[in-house]
Amino acid sequence: MTAKKEAATKEDSKAKQGLIHLYFGTGKGKTTASVGLATRARGRQFRVLFVTFLKPGTSGELDPLRAIGVDVLSGQPVKKFVYLMTEEEKEETRRNTEALFQQAVEACQHDVDLVIFDEIVGVLELNMLKEQDVLHFLETKPPHLEVVLTGRNPSQSLINAADYASEIVMRKHPYETSGIMARKGIEF
């Protein structure tokens, strides 16, 4: 093989390397950014899996994602904020979260090019999933698999594991300035 062909082969191999994206912070737009990447990937015929945690599965982006061929795993058995849950409801949510993560991990061993774990940082913060399980997945994922993680406050270990770490910072929010609550079609 000539040096030129060998360099091209190495470059092609790097282009097919699946990288890890982390969209985090206090600002609005983490899920929106991941939905945009899912759309772009589907536009290039990638097989995409979108996994939502801590959400009931009724967010406005899920049906359009399904319509363009994205596989969606979602659902929270108890449809309220964690701080309002009883201990039994928290345990049910933890079991559901672990099962959802395992289902996604298994799916990623087969026909998936991009997986998005929406709000996985939140479930880690709430101890509903073990960080070492997520880090192990990131270390042992199929080499071509692109992974997106979203949430507010990732650990340094998650930041270190990421190839892209994009922080979205809230400088101003209408809830704080005007009391405007989350709006259907805009925030959910």
Q: What CATH number has the domain bearing residue 25?
A: 3.40.50.300
Domain that holds residue 41: 17-170
**Pairing status of strand 71-73 against strand 20-24:** unpaired
Q: Which of 62, 73, 132, 65 is nearest to 97 (CA)?
A: 73
State the DSSP H helix or E strand holding residue 164, giving kind and residue range, or none if neither: strand 164-167
Residue 107, in any domain of the structure: yes
Residue 61, in any domain of the structure: yes
Q: Which tokens is 105 given?
A: 């991990």
Residue 9, in any domain of the structure: no
| pLDDT tens string 83-140 | 888 899 889 989 999 999 999 999 999 889 999 999 999 999 999 999 999 999 999 9
Residue 1, in any domain of the structure: no
Given a contact cutoff of 8 angstroms between Cβ atoms, the answer to whether 56 and 76 are in contact is yes
Q: Which residue has the tokens 């990638």?
A: 46
> Is the model's pTM score more than 0.95?
no
| pLDDT tens string 9-48 | 444 544 578 999 999 999 989 999 999 999 999 999 999 9
Task: Kindly tell me the sign of the dihedral angle through the C-alpha atoms of 115, 117, 121, 123.
Answer: negative
Residue 181, in any domain of the structure: no
* Domain total in the chain: 1
